Structure 1
Amino acid sequence: MLSNFLKNLSILKKFLFINSIFFTIIGLFTFIYLKNVQPNLIKKKSSNHIEVINNTIDNLTRLNVKFVEKDIRKFLFSTRFLFQNLDRVIFFDNKLNLIGDTDTLDLDPRSFSQRLDTIELEVLDSTTTKKITEEKNIDIGNENNVSLNDVLLNYATSKNFGIPFTFTEEEFNKFKLTTIKNVMKDGENIGYLAITENANDIKAAIDERKTFVIRTAIAVGIVILIFSFVLNRYFLKPIKNLVSYTKIIKNKDTKKTNIDTLKLRNDELGLLSNSLDDMTLELQKRISHAENFSTDLVHEIRNPLASLKSASEILHDAQDSEQRLKLINILSHDVQRIERLITDYSQMLKDEVALSKEKIKKIDIEPIIKSVVDDFNNIYKLKRGINISYKNDGKNKYLIYGIENRIEQIIANLLDNAISFSDDDKDVIVQVSKSEDSKVHIKILDEGQGFKEKDTNKIFKRFYSNRPDKFGQHSGLGLNIVKNLVDLHNATIKASNRQDKKGASMEIEFPKV
């Protein structure tokens, strides 16, 4: 039930709800503690009173002191050091007459006041603590209040007679603690003994604890509110903005999305926003790329299909064998062209999938280029007499961040393109150099026809092919694949005609490591 309830709450509400539960539990335990702290402190002082009372009764019994005013006064004078830490010690006979009071020992003119305000009676023993609060209107000295005599009278007639009683008295800024007990001799009650002590320290300790708890609660509450505000303002709201951003992208909403303010942050949310935005742009780019590629592929296939259809219709009616052979060659050519387009397209999709799984690392491209050059020399030197040579500028290592087999693919595609435009017995040169700013450059130079295009960038577009003499033999995807792989390595590729002689130049520039 609770888990289902929490599932439907936002993070902020969950945070506030859980904190309120802990706050309530802590507050409950604190309340219980504060309710028990005063009785515990009173019980501790009461235990001291009971010990003093028992010692006093033992001394009275041992000294055989009679419970009359004269003997009790002498006893108080002789043993007053026993009560020096107490505010007042009072003796009553069994008829509740005052027979001794430490307040009168120093000839203090004050008489014993029988005025006591509202009294909280409390029975304290080793096992139980009982509280009784009473208010009585008894006319003593024309004042309506409860006297100590009334407390003693209640004590004498109660079922707890014989057990020490402790009660508290609050008057103005005073908090007094009084313990009374009857005095037995030979199985007979001969009087009562009352000890009164100023217990303002108990009140101060309780007030101090209450103040501390209240201040702590207020401070914790303020901290929770501030943290909730910070959590909501700097974490939850940006996350909501990111969620809204993803929903708008998912639903292809026309509503403008902007997370540039989040991308400016230097914390984890800023990194997440940048990563999410880059991922979204990359996905959109790939989707657009796939859509455009599919459209271009359909367009490219439509031409040979139309040619196939026309040739097949004419072939059906053609009677001349030479004409039929010509039409069959056209059909064969168009089928090969469609097959080449589909094969190259399939390979391109496979390459894109593989690229998503491969990791870029630091590599030295020189041995990779040498390996590709050796492989091509073994094929084309014997077949067409084309010599492919490798040159460098004498530097030690040519380090880049890249994918080894993709670098091989780039060099192989460029060499294949250069050889296809070269006549037999010509040279193709692969040059590797490092500039002063540590950027690595690769140049592939051939001795072919060069570029007829004014804008050489168009040769990297999909399905572009300027080969009138070899129409249909190339899909026009080779250089486009090279361009995509070069972009993957954060490098640039540039096509131009050679300055020193006739031929084409392809130059790739890799960023420095």
Structure 2
Amino acid sequence: MFSKYLKKISILKKFLFINFIIFTIIGLFTFIYLSNVQPNLIKKKSIKHINVINNTINTLIRLDIKFDVYDIRKFLFSTRFIFQNLDRVIFFDNNLNLIGDTDTLDLDPRSFSTRLDEIEFESLNNDEENQNDENENLSLVETKSLSFENILNEYLNSDEYGNSYTFTQEDLNQFKLITIRNVIKDGSNVGFIAITENAIEIRTATNERKAFVIRTAIAVGFVILIFSFVLSRYFIKPIQNLVSYTKVIKEKSQTKTNIESLKGRNDELGLLSNSLDDMTNELQKRVAHAENFSTDLVHEIRNPLASLKSASEILQDTDNSEQRIKLLNILSHDVLRIERLITDYSQMLKDEVALSKEKMKEINIEPIIKSVVDDYNNIQKVKKNIKINYENDDKKKYIIKGIENRIEQIIANLLDNSISFCKEGGNIFVNVATTLDKFVIVKVTDEGQGFKEKDTAKIFKRFYSNRPDKFGEHSGLGLNIVKNLVDLHEGKILASNRLDRDGAIVEIRFPSV
């Protein structure tokens, strides 16, 4: 279901959706982490409190100190250095009465002296000034202890009674940790010890982590937003333009596309746009070529078909044997012509398919041309006693970028054409040379009747043939195939008549490597 949904949405939506999923997962783990930050910090503090409480209880029991105001105050005064790193340590008796508080050490150390302790229990007729100071200290301590009443009652009623228990109190300026434990001596509960500490650093650390996570989330979201914009502006939109371009080509619409702007890019999308446009143009050329070729083929076949139809109709109505033989010859000639056209057309299509699969490479065309010339000089190939002469300008190599068997086909088609025009015992000259402007020139010169056309470019057109005496014996595709193969090799082909005598010259210029 999930994969099907992703397949239906755009790349940008996929990107945003996947980022949303990842962001949600990271956010979930972050939330869990932040939820555990404060408890972990509180736990570390409470462990410290518990250790102090346990050590204090062990000391009280070991020294056999009673849980009353007198002994506890003496104990606090004698051991106050133990509690220097704690904010406050408070002692309560079994009835939840305050009997000791380290805060009084800061108020008036004299209150813990033996003299002041004695004064506290003497009559009210003693020194009034000292008594007032003592009452002031006790009043302040009792005021501070009022907030512990609910906490002590909650501790007494909780499942943690008998173990150390940590509470938290939080307001605008404070974050207090309060750890309480009851004191058991000789199997009975004698009182309670509470440690309070203003652990504002816990809230500060938690807030810092939350602020860091929020800042990070905003930064990541901002980066994703920028990246989404860049992805949409410079990648998704160009791809959509390419899709629109392919749709326009498919539907043969006249709608203009902005692929030219994409082709100007120097990145992979620019290369893709150029390749796609070149491929499209090449396919359009091939389609147009196939359509034109089919149209020309139909036109060429229509003539012999019309001749066949006329001859067959006349054949049915004549009884003259000579005329019937002549009509049968016409029928046979037209059938052979149609067969030749279809055969040559089929071969041409096969050649075009093969060309699309063949790759250009650097080749020396001299041995290729010499091999074709030697084959045609063989008596099995040449039946008119025509000699084919090979010449060059004494260069060792004639390197071009091409396809070996297509070079053979070019030379063979030109020799076939020259042989068909030459008289028996004639000569054909094949010459290979190089030029200063880095071209390899191949010339095929014959001693035939030459070209009758003033515009010799016509001879390379498809199905063109100017042979009145041999009408129907040639399909008119030979030189057209040569022209197409020369164009494939980025060369040029020209035809002209000889100036010194009758004959024709066909010259091909291949770019040299």
Query: Which deviates more, 191-200 or 433-442?
Result: 433-442
Q: How does 1:408-427 map to 2 (within 5 A)?
A: 408-427=408-427
CA distance in 1, matches of 2:490, 2:404: 15
- Which residue number in structure 1 is paired with residue 370 of structure 2? 370
- Which residue number in structure 2 is paired with residue 136 of structure 1? none
CA distance in 2, matches of 1:402, 1:111: 110
Task: Return the letter of the residue paired with 2:465.
Answer: S
Match of 1:190, SS state, is strand
CA distance in 2, matches of 1:93, 1:332: 135
Aligned pair 1:407/2:386, yes or no?
Answer: no
- Which residue number in structure 2 is paired with residue 118 of structure 1? none
Higher helix share: 2
* Unaligned residue ranges in structure 1 (runs of 5+): 116-139
Task: Return the letter of the residue paired with 1:480.
Answer: N
CA distance in 2, matches of 1:190, 1:370: 123
- Which residue number in structure 1 is paired with residue 442 of structure 2? 442
- Which residue number in structure 1 is paired with residue 174 of structure 2? 174
Shift of 1:410: 0.8
Q: How does 1:310-389 map to 2 (within 5 A)?
A: 310-379=310-379, 383-389=383-389
Q: What is the aligned-residue identity percentage?
A: 73
Aligned pair 1:53/2:36, yes or no?
Answer: no
Query: Which deviates more, 363-372 or 162-171?
Result: 162-171
Residues 193-222 of structure 1, C-alpha deviations (whole Å, 9 max, x = no match): 111223122112211110111111111111
Residues 14-55 of structure 1, C-alpha deviations (whole Å, 9 max, x = no match): 221222122122212211221122112101210111011001
- Which residue number in structure 1 is paired with residue 183 of structure 2? 183
CA distance in 2, matches of 1:146, 1:342: 114
CA distance in 1, matches of 2:499, 2:165: 118
Query: Which deviates more, 206-215 or 83-92?
Result: 83-92
Change (3 A) 1:277 1:157: closer
Task: Return the letter of the residue paired with 1:270.
Answer: G
User: Rg bigger for which structure?
Assistant: 2
CA distance in 2, matches of 1:192, 1:351: 105
Change (3 A) 1:156 1:347: closer
Change (3 A) 1:495 1:113: farther
- Which residue number in structure 2 is paired with residue 301 of structure 1? 301
Shift of 1:373: 0.6
Match of 2:391, SS state, is strand
Q: How does 1:8-157 map to 2 (within 5 A)?
A: 8-107=8-107, 147-157=147-157
Change (3 A) 1:493 1:284: same
Change (3 A) 1:328 1:199: same
Task: Return the letter of the residue paired with 2:363.
Answer: I
Residues 3-24 of structure 1, C-alpha deviations (whole Å, 9 max, x = no match): 3333322222222122212212
Residues 343-400 of structure 1, C-alpha deviations (whole Å, 9 max, x = no match): 1111111212222222222222121111101001113886323221222223332222
Change (3 A) 1:335 1:159: closer
CA distance in 1, matches of 2:139, 2:13: 61
Question: For the Cα contact (< 8 Å) 1:381–1:387, is it kept in 2?
Answer: no
Change (3 A) 1:176 1:113: farther
Question: CA RMSD for the aligned pairs?
Answer: 2.5
Change (3 A) 1:112 1:313: farther
Query: Which deviates more, 247-256 or 484-493?
Result: 247-256
CA distance in 1, matches of 2:430, 2:421: 16
CA distance in 2, matches of 1:59, 1:429: 125
Question: For the Cα contact (< 8 Å) 2:241–2:257, is it kept in 1?
Answer: no
Task: Return the letter of the residue paired with 2:424.
Answer: D
Change (3 A) 1:335 1:262: same
Task: Return the letter of the residue paired with 2:20.
Answer: S
Task: Return the letter of the residue paired with 1:47.
Answer: I
Match of 2:229, SS state, is helix
Task: Return the letter of the residue paired with 1:427.
Answer: N
Residues 112-166 of structure 1, C-alpha deviations (whole Å, 9 max, x = no match): 8979xxxxxxxxxxxxxxxxxxxxxxxx97x9x9712332233234443222121
Match of 2:235, SS state, is helix
- Which residue number in structure 2 is paired with residue 511 of structure 1? 511
Change (3 A) 1:203 1:381: closer
Match of 1:388, SS state, is strand
Change (3 A) 1:430 1:81: farther
Change (3 A) 1:280 1:158: closer
Change (3 A) 1:464 1:112: farther
- Which residue number in structure 2 is paired with residue 430 of structure 1? 430
Task: Return the letter of the residue paired with 2:160.
Answer: N
CA distance in 2, matches of 1:6, 1:413: 57
Change (3 A) 1:81 1:408: same
Question: For the Cα contact (< 8 Å) 1:103–1:112, is it kept in 2?
Answer: no
CA distance in 1, matches of 2:108, 2:503: 129
Question: For the Cα contact (< 8 Å) 1:363–1:399, is it kept in 2?
Answer: yes
Task: Return the letter of the residue paired with 1:9.
Answer: I
- Which residue number in structure 2 is paired with residue 193 of structure 1? 193
Aligned length: 487
Match of 2:379, SS state, is helix
- Which residue number in structure 2 is paired with residue 261 of structure 1? 261
Q: TM-score normalized by structure 2?
A: 0.88
CA distance in 1, matches of 2:358, 2:140: 98
- Which residue number in structure 2 is paired with residue 122 of structure 1? none
Shift of 1:320: 4.3
Q: TM-score normalized by structure 1?
A: 0.88
Aligned pair 1:458/2:468, yes or no?
Answer: no
Change (3 A) 1:35 1:260: same
Match of 1:383, SS state, is coil
Question: For the Cα contact (< 8 Å) 1:418–1:446, is it kept in 2?
Answer: yes
Match of 1:162, SS state, is coil
Shift of 1:60: 1.0
Q: How does 1:157-306 map to 2 (within 5 A)?
A: 157-306=157-306
CA distance in 1, matches of 2:510, 2:382: 33
CA distance in 2, matches of 1:381, 1:428: 14
Shift of 1:416: 0.9
Shift of 1:511: 2.5
Change (3 A) 1:501 1:372: same
Task: Return the letter of the residue paired with 2:33.
Answer: Y
* Unaligned residue ranges in structure 2 (runs of 5+): 110-135
Change (3 A) 1:169 1:442: same
